[in-house]
Chain A
Amino acid sequence: MIDDPQDYQELEKELRSLRLRAPSAALHARIGEALAASQALADFRALDQAALRTAPVSTSAEPNRWLHWGLPVAAALVVGTLAFRGPPPPPPANPLSLPASAPAGAAQNVPLSSSTADRELDLSLATRHPGVDLYKPVAAENVSFGDDEEKVITLPDGTTARELRQRYLDKVTWRNPQTNAWLTWSVPRDEVRVVPIRAY
Protein backbone atom coordinates (compact mmCIF):
# COMPACT_ATOMS: atom_id res chain seq x y z
CA MET A 1 0.00 0.00 0.00
CA ILE A 2 1.46 3.33 -1.02
CA ASP A 3 1.45 5.92 1.72
CA ASP A 4 -0.51 9.06 1.03
CA PRO A 5 1.47 12.15 2.04
CA GLN A 6 -1.81 13.69 3.23
CA ASP A 7 -1.92 11.00 5.93
CA TYR A 8 1.04 12.50 7.64
CA GLN A 9 0.03 16.13 7.60
CA GLU A 10 -1.56 15.93 11.03
CA LEU A 11 1.55 14.29 12.49
CA GLU A 12 3.83 16.84 10.80
CA LYS A 13 1.68 19.66 12.16
CA GLU A 14 1.87 18.18 15.66
CA LEU A 15 5.63 17.78 15.49
CA ARG A 16 6.09 21.39 14.33
CA SER A 17 3.97 22.62 17.21
CA LEU A 18 6.40 21.24 19.80
CA ARG A 19 8.55 23.90 21.39
CA LEU A 20 12.24 23.20 20.85
CA ARG A 21 14.59 23.25 23.79
CA ALA A 22 16.46 26.55 23.84
CA PRO A 23 20.24 26.75 24.06
CA SER A 24 21.47 27.36 27.59
CA ALA A 25 22.19 30.81 29.00
CA ALA A 26 25.81 29.70 29.45
CA LEU A 27 26.13 29.06 25.71
CA HIS A 28 24.65 32.47 24.97
CA ALA A 29 27.19 34.07 27.32
CA ARG A 30 30.16 32.20 25.81
CA ILE A 31 29.17 33.30 22.31
CA GLY A 32 28.79 36.87 23.51
CA GLU A 33 32.26 36.90 25.06
CA ALA A 34 33.90 35.39 22.00
CA LEU A 35 32.24 37.86 19.62
CA ALA A 36 33.09 40.81 21.88
CA ALA A 37 36.74 39.73 22.01
CA SER A 38 36.97 39.37 18.25
CA GLN A 39 35.32 42.78 17.79
CA ALA A 40 37.89 44.34 20.13
CA LEU A 41 40.68 42.76 18.12
CA ALA A 42 39.16 44.02 14.87
CA ASP A 43 38.89 47.53 16.34
CA PHE A 44 42.51 47.40 17.48
CA ARG A 45 43.68 46.26 14.08
CA ALA A 46 41.74 49.05 12.39
CA LEU A 47 43.42 51.58 14.68
CA ASP A 48 46.79 50.01 14.04
CA GLN A 49 46.28 50.02 10.27
CA ALA A 50 45.30 53.68 10.36
CA ALA A 51 48.40 54.51 12.38
CA LEU A 52 50.77 52.52 10.18
CA ARG A 53 49.35 53.99 6.98
CA THR A 54 50.20 57.48 8.19
CA ALA A 55 53.52 56.64 9.87
CA PRO A 56 56.68 57.93 8.18
CA VAL A 57 58.84 55.34 6.43
CA SER A 58 61.58 54.15 8.77
CA THR A 59 65.18 54.16 7.57
CA SER A 60 66.04 51.24 9.82
CA ALA A 61 64.86 47.68 9.30
CA GLU A 62 64.82 46.95 13.02
CA PRO A 63 61.63 48.84 13.99
CA ASN A 64 59.61 47.16 11.22
CA ARG A 65 60.57 43.73 12.51
CA TRP A 66 59.52 44.57 16.02
CA LEU A 67 56.32 46.23 14.88
CA HIS A 68 55.26 43.22 12.87
CA TRP A 69 56.08 41.05 15.82
CA GLY A 70 54.95 43.22 18.68
CA LEU A 71 51.59 44.47 17.40
CA PRO A 72 49.89 41.08 17.10
CA VAL A 73 51.20 40.18 20.53
CA ALA A 74 49.93 43.46 21.93
CA ALA A 75 46.57 42.79 20.30
CA ALA A 76 46.56 39.35 21.86
CA LEU A 77 47.02 41.00 25.25
CA VAL A 78 43.95 43.15 24.62
CA VAL A 79 41.95 40.14 23.50
CA GLY A 80 43.15 38.09 26.43
CA THR A 81 42.08 40.79 28.86
CA LEU A 82 38.63 41.21 27.32
CA ALA A 83 37.89 37.54 26.70
CA PHE A 84 39.03 36.10 29.98
CA ARG A 85 38.56 39.07 32.26
CA GLY A 86 41.80 38.36 34.01
CA PRO A 87 43.94 41.00 35.66
CA PRO A 88 44.63 43.92 33.29
CA PRO A 89 48.12 44.30 31.83
CA PRO A 90 50.42 46.65 33.78
CA PRO A 91 49.71 50.31 32.96
CA PRO A 92 52.13 52.00 30.60
CA ALA A 93 54.86 54.01 32.28
CA ASN A 94 54.27 57.79 31.99
CA PRO A 95 51.66 57.44 29.31
CA LEU A 96 50.92 61.13 29.10
CA SER A 97 54.42 62.55 29.19
CA LEU A 98 57.59 62.11 27.25
CA PRO A 99 59.96 59.54 28.77
CA ALA A 100 62.96 61.25 30.41
CA SER A 101 65.48 58.70 29.13
CA ALA A 102 65.78 55.20 27.77
CA PRO A 103 65.00 52.48 30.34
CA ALA A 104 68.03 51.15 32.23
CA GLY A 105 69.45 47.97 30.81
CA ALA A 106 68.11 48.62 27.33
CA ALA A 107 69.96 46.39 24.90
CA GLN A 108 68.51 47.92 21.79
CA ASN A 109 66.41 51.05 21.47
CA VAL A 110 65.47 52.00 17.94
CA PRO A 111 63.63 55.31 17.74
CA LEU A 112 62.05 56.38 14.49
CA SER A 113 63.16 59.68 13.05
CA SER A 114 61.55 62.88 14.32
CA SER A 115 62.53 65.23 11.54
CA THR A 116 60.92 68.49 10.53
CA ALA A 117 59.18 66.64 7.72
CA ASP A 118 57.57 64.30 10.26
CA ARG A 119 56.32 67.16 12.38
CA GLU A 120 54.87 68.80 9.30
CA LEU A 121 53.19 65.51 8.39
CA ASP A 122 51.72 65.28 11.88
CA LEU A 123 50.29 68.78 11.66
CA SER A 124 48.91 68.07 8.21
CA LEU A 125 47.22 64.91 9.44
CA ALA A 126 45.75 66.69 12.42
CA THR A 127 44.33 69.34 10.12
CA ARG A 128 42.87 66.85 7.65
CA HIS A 129 41.45 64.55 10.31
CA PRO A 130 40.39 66.69 13.23
CA GLY A 131 39.25 64.63 16.17
CA VAL A 132 40.70 61.41 14.84
CA ASP A 133 43.32 59.97 17.16
CA LEU A 134 46.34 58.63 15.33
CA TYR A 135 48.82 56.62 17.33
CA LYS A 136 52.12 56.25 15.55
CA PRO A 137 54.77 53.72 16.55
CA VAL A 138 57.80 55.59 17.79
CA ALA A 139 60.02 53.02 19.47
CA ALA A 140 60.58 49.32 19.81
CA GLU A 141 63.03 47.81 22.24
CA ASN A 142 64.16 44.48 23.48
CA VAL A 143 65.57 44.32 26.98
CA SER A 144 67.56 41.28 28.04
CA PHE A 145 67.47 40.31 31.68
CA GLY A 146 70.23 37.77 31.41
CA ASP A 147 70.16 34.04 31.21
CA ASP A 148 69.97 31.21 33.68
CA GLU A 149 71.40 27.78 33.21
CA GLU A 150 68.53 25.48 34.05
CA LYS A 151 69.92 22.00 33.81
CA VAL A 152 72.11 19.56 31.96
CA ILE A 153 70.19 17.25 29.67
CA THR A 154 70.91 14.35 27.34
CA LEU A 155 69.77 14.72 23.76
CA PRO A 156 68.23 11.78 21.81
CA ASP A 157 71.56 11.14 20.07
CA GLY A 158 73.35 10.79 23.42
CA THR A 159 74.98 14.22 23.37
CA THR A 160 75.08 16.13 26.65
CA ALA A 161 73.73 19.67 26.48
CA ARG A 162 72.92 22.65 28.68
CA GLU A 163 69.45 24.13 28.76
CA LEU A 164 69.66 27.92 29.04
CA ARG A 165 66.66 30.16 29.76
CA GLN A 166 67.01 33.70 28.49
CA ARG A 167 64.55 36.33 29.67
CA TYR A 168 63.51 39.34 27.60
CA LEU A 169 61.09 42.19 27.85
CA ASP A 170 59.83 43.43 24.49
CA LYS A 171 58.36 46.93 24.44
CA VAL A 172 56.58 48.78 21.66
CA THR A 173 55.67 52.43 22.17
CA TRP A 174 53.13 54.49 20.26
CA ARG A 175 52.55 58.22 20.49
CA ASN A 176 49.57 60.30 19.48
CA PRO A 177 51.00 63.54 18.08
CA GLN A 178 47.69 65.33 18.49
CA THR A 179 47.30 64.67 22.20
CA ASN A 180 50.88 63.73 23.10
CA ALA A 181 49.49 60.59 24.69
CA TRP A 182 51.74 57.55 24.83
CA LEU A 183 50.89 53.90 24.74
CA THR A 184 53.46 51.30 25.69
CA TRP A 185 52.99 47.58 25.47
CA SER A 186 55.45 45.41 27.37
CA VAL A 187 55.51 41.69 26.74
CA PRO A 188 57.76 39.37 28.76
CA ARG A 189 59.32 36.57 26.79
CA ASP A 190 61.45 33.58 27.67
CA GLU A 191 63.62 31.68 25.25
CA VAL A 192 64.95 28.28 26.13
CA ARG A 193 68.04 27.35 24.19
CA VAL A 194 69.80 24.02 24.16
CA VAL A 195 73.59 24.28 23.82
CA PRO A 196 75.54 21.04 23.29
CA ILE A 197 78.50 20.56 25.62
CA ARG A 198 81.62 19.73 23.73
CA ALA A 199 84.43 17.99 25.52
CA TYR A 200 87.91 18.81 24.26
Chain B
Amino acid sequence: MDSPTSTPHHETWSDWFHRHGPRLLVCARQWTRSVADAEDVVQEAFIRFWRRQRSLGGEPMGLLLTSIRRSAVDLARREGRRTLREQAVEADRHDDGGLFEATSTGDDRRQAIEAALRRLPAEQREVLVLKIWGERTFDQIGEALAISPNTAASRYRYALKALRGELSSVECP
Protein backbone atom coordinates (compact mmCIF):
# COMPACT_ATOMS: atom_id res chain seq x y z
CA MET B 1 0.00 0.00 0.00
CA ASP B 2 1.29 3.52 -0.77
CA SER B 3 2.53 5.36 2.24
CA PRO B 4 0.11 8.00 3.47
CA THR B 5 3.16 10.07 4.27
CA SER B 6 4.26 10.34 0.64
CA THR B 7 4.31 13.96 -0.41
CA PRO B 8 1.92 14.87 -3.21
CA HIS B 9 4.21 17.29 -5.00
CA HIS B 10 4.69 15.17 -8.08
CA GLU B 11 1.20 13.81 -8.42
CA THR B 12 -1.94 15.35 -9.72
CA TRP B 13 -4.52 16.07 -7.07
CA SER B 14 -6.82 13.51 -8.70
CA ASP B 15 -4.34 10.68 -8.43
CA TRP B 16 -3.45 11.54 -4.87
CA PHE B 17 -7.11 11.80 -3.84
CA HIS B 18 -7.93 8.57 -5.62
CA ARG B 19 -5.34 6.77 -3.53
CA HIS B 20 -5.95 8.37 -0.16
CA GLY B 21 -9.53 9.63 -0.40
CA PRO B 22 -11.13 6.43 0.95
CA ARG B 23 -8.99 6.68 4.11
CA LEU B 24 -9.94 10.31 4.56
CA LEU B 25 -13.60 9.48 4.11
CA VAL B 26 -13.69 6.60 6.59
CA CYS B 27 -12.06 8.82 9.22
CA ALA B 28 -14.44 11.68 8.47
CA ARG B 29 -17.38 9.28 8.95
CA GLN B 30 -16.37 8.99 12.62
CA TRP B 31 -16.98 12.68 13.19
CA THR B 32 -20.03 13.38 11.06
CA ARG B 33 -23.57 12.10 11.03
CA SER B 34 -23.89 11.08 7.39
CA VAL B 35 -21.95 10.22 4.23
CA ALA B 36 -22.96 13.59 2.75
CA ASP B 37 -21.57 15.51 5.74
CA ALA B 38 -18.41 13.39 5.71
CA GLU B 39 -17.86 14.20 2.04
CA ASP B 40 -18.43 17.89 2.71
CA VAL B 41 -15.76 18.06 5.41
CA VAL B 42 -13.35 16.00 3.31
CA GLN B 43 -13.93 18.37 0.40
CA GLU B 44 -13.29 21.45 2.51
CA ALA B 45 -10.17 20.01 4.13
CA PHE B 46 -8.69 18.61 0.94
CA ILE B 47 -9.15 21.82 -1.04
CA ARG B 48 -7.56 23.82 1.76
CA PHE B 49 -4.67 21.35 1.94
CA TRP B 50 -4.04 21.19 -1.80
CA ARG B 51 -4.21 24.98 -2.28
CA ARG B 52 -2.11 26.08 0.66
CA GLN B 53 -0.78 23.44 2.98
CA ARG B 54 1.00 20.88 0.86
CA SER B 55 3.88 23.22 0.12
CA LEU B 56 4.40 23.87 3.84
CA GLY B 57 5.94 20.47 4.56
CA GLY B 58 4.56 18.24 7.26
CA GLU B 59 2.97 14.87 6.89
CA PRO B 60 -0.02 15.11 4.57
CA MET B 61 -2.35 12.60 6.21
CA GLY B 62 -1.81 14.13 9.64
CA LEU B 63 -2.53 17.63 8.32
CA LEU B 64 -5.63 16.43 6.52
CA LEU B 65 -7.08 14.45 9.40
CA THR B 66 -6.62 17.40 11.76
CA SER B 67 -8.29 19.65 9.22
CA ILE B 68 -11.15 17.19 8.67
CA ARG B 69 -11.82 16.90 12.38
CA ARG B 70 -11.78 20.67 12.73
CA SER B 71 -14.22 21.06 9.84
CA ALA B 72 -16.49 18.45 11.42
CA VAL B 73 -16.47 20.37 14.71
CA ASP B 74 -17.36 23.57 12.84
CA LEU B 75 -20.15 21.79 10.99
CA ALA B 76 -21.57 20.41 14.21
CA ARG B 77 -21.54 23.87 15.79
CA ARG B 78 -23.19 25.45 12.75
CA GLU B 79 -25.95 22.85 12.97
CA GLY B 80 -26.43 23.30 16.69
CA ARG B 81 -24.85 20.10 17.91
CA ARG B 82 -22.51 20.60 20.80
CA THR B 83 -19.98 17.85 20.40
CA LEU B 84 -18.65 15.34 17.95
CA ARG B 85 -19.95 12.69 20.31
CA GLU B 86 -23.49 13.78 19.52
CA GLN B 87 -22.70 13.53 15.83
CA ALA B 88 -21.43 10.00 16.25
CA VAL B 89 -24.56 8.98 18.14
CA GLU B 90 -26.73 10.41 15.37
CA ALA B 91 -24.63 8.66 12.77
CA ASP B 92 -25.30 5.36 14.53
CA ARG B 93 -29.03 5.98 14.29
CA HIS B 94 -28.88 7.28 10.75
CA ASP B 95 -27.39 4.42 8.79
CA ASP B 96 -26.85 5.72 5.27
CA GLY B 97 -24.31 3.36 3.89
CA GLY B 98 -21.46 1.13 4.87
CA LEU B 99 -17.84 1.98 5.41
CA PHE B 100 -16.66 -0.74 3.08
CA GLU B 101 -17.28 -1.83 -0.49
CA ALA B 102 -19.48 -4.89 -0.86
CA THR B 103 -17.66 -8.03 -1.92
CA SER B 104 -18.85 -10.78 -4.20
CA THR B 105 -17.82 -13.48 -1.73
CA GLY B 106 -17.82 -13.38 2.04
CA ASP B 107 -20.08 -10.35 2.13
CA ASP B 108 -21.87 -11.70 5.19
CA ARG B 109 -18.62 -11.38 7.07
CA ARG B 110 -18.16 -7.79 5.85
CA GLN B 111 -21.68 -6.94 6.99
CA ALA B 112 -21.08 -8.55 10.36
CA ILE B 113 -17.93 -6.47 10.82
CA GLU B 114 -19.80 -3.30 9.84
CA ALA B 115 -22.56 -4.06 12.33
CA ALA B 116 -20.05 -4.84 15.09
CA LEU B 117 -18.18 -1.60 14.41
CA ARG B 118 -21.41 0.38 14.67
CA ARG B 119 -22.07 -1.13 18.11
CA LEU B 120 -18.68 -0.03 19.46
CA PRO B 121 -18.62 3.06 21.68
CA ALA B 122 -17.80 6.08 19.52
CA GLU B 123 -14.50 6.89 21.25
CA GLN B 124 -13.23 3.34 20.74
CA ARG B 125 -14.38 3.18 17.15
CA GLU B 126 -12.65 6.43 16.16
CA VAL B 127 -9.33 5.22 17.61
CA LEU B 128 -9.72 1.87 15.86
CA VAL B 129 -10.47 3.53 12.53
CA LEU B 130 -7.56 5.94 12.82
CA LYS B 131 -5.20 3.09 13.72
CA ILE B 132 -6.28 0.47 11.21
CA TRP B 133 -7.27 2.54 8.16
CA GLY B 134 -5.84 5.94 8.97
CA GLU B 135 -2.53 4.17 9.73
CA ARG B 136 -1.81 6.53 12.57
CA THR B 137 0.49 5.74 15.47
CA PHE B 138 -0.82 6.04 19.03
CA ASP B 139 1.22 9.21 19.44
CA GLN B 140 -0.41 10.73 16.35
CA ILE B 141 -3.87 9.57 17.44
CA GLY B 142 -3.32 11.06 20.87
CA GLU B 143 -2.32 14.36 19.34
CA ALA B 144 -5.30 14.40 16.95
CA LEU B 145 -7.85 13.57 19.67
CA ALA B 146 -6.19 15.46 22.54
CA ILE B 147 -5.74 12.30 24.59
CA SER B 148 -2.61 10.56 25.81
CA PRO B 149 -1.04 7.84 23.65
CA ASN B 150 -1.70 5.37 26.50
CA THR B 151 -5.40 6.24 26.47
CA ALA B 152 -5.43 5.80 22.71
CA ALA B 153 -3.74 2.40 23.00
CA SER B 154 -6.13 1.35 25.73
CA ARG B 155 -9.22 2.31 23.72
CA TYR B 156 -7.79 0.48 20.74
CA ARG B 157 -7.31 -2.75 22.70
CA TYR B 158 -10.83 -2.51 24.16
CA ALA B 159 -12.20 -1.95 20.66
CA LEU B 160 -10.43 -5.01 19.25
CA LYS B 161 -11.53 -7.13 22.18
CA ALA B 162 -15.14 -6.03 21.85
CA LEU B 163 -15.04 -6.54 18.10
CA ARG B 164 -13.64 -10.03 18.42
CA GLY B 165 -16.26 -10.87 21.01
CA GLU B 166 -19.06 -9.66 18.72
CA LEU B 167 -17.73 -11.49 15.69
CA SER B 168 -17.18 -14.69 17.68
CA SER B 169 -20.80 -14.70 18.81
CA VAL B 170 -21.89 -14.26 15.17
CA GLU B 171 -19.75 -17.21 14.12
CA CYS B 172 -20.97 -19.48 16.93
CA PRO B 173 -24.56 -18.55 17.72
Contact = CB atoms under 8 A, between A and B. Distances in A.
A14 B164 CA distance: 11
Nearest to A12: B132
A30 B133 CA distance: 24
Interface string B1-25: 0000000000001100100011111
Given A12-B132, A27-B42, A31-B17, A21 B160 contact: no
A22 B103 CA distance: 14
B101 A35 contact: no
Contact of B160 (A11, A18, A35): A11
Contacts of A21: 22, 25-26, 97-101
B101 A19 contact: yes
Q: Which of A3, A5, A7, A23 has the most CB of B within 10 A?
A: A23
A11 B13 contact: no
Contact of A18 (B47, B50, B100, B164): B100
A199 interface: no
Contacts of B103: 19
A40 B13 CA distance: 16
Interface in A1-52: 3, 5, 7-8, 11-12, 14-16, 18-24, 26-28, 30-32, 34-35, 38
- Chain B binding surface, main DSSP class: helix
A42 to B, nearest CB: 9
Nearest to A32: B14
Interface residues of A, number: 25
B120 interface: no
B163 interface: yes
Given A15-B132, A28-B14, A22 B47 contact: no
29 contacts: A3-B157, A5-B157, A8-B161, A8-B164, A11-B164, A12-B160, A14-B113, A15-B113, A16-B132, A18-B110, A19-B100, A20-B22, A20-B100, A21-B22, A21-B98, A21-B99, A21-B101, A22-B22, A23-B25, A23-B39, A26-B39, A28-B14, A28-B21, A30-B43, A31-B43, A34-B43, A34-B47, A35-B13, A35-B47
Contacts of A11: 160, 163-164, 167
Contact of B133 (A8, A16, A22): A16
Interface of A: 3, 5, 7-8, 11-12, 14-16, 18-24, 26-28, 30-32, 34-35, 38
Contact of A24 (B24, B39, B98, B167): B39
Contacts of A16: 132-133
Contacts of A38: 47, 51
A30 B50 CA distance: 14
A20 B24 CA distance: 10
Nearest to B117: A15
A31 B97 CA distance: 22
Q: Which of A3, A18, A26, A30 has the most CB of B within 10 A?
A: A18
A72 B103 CA distance: 51
A96 B49 CA distance: 40
B46 interface: yes
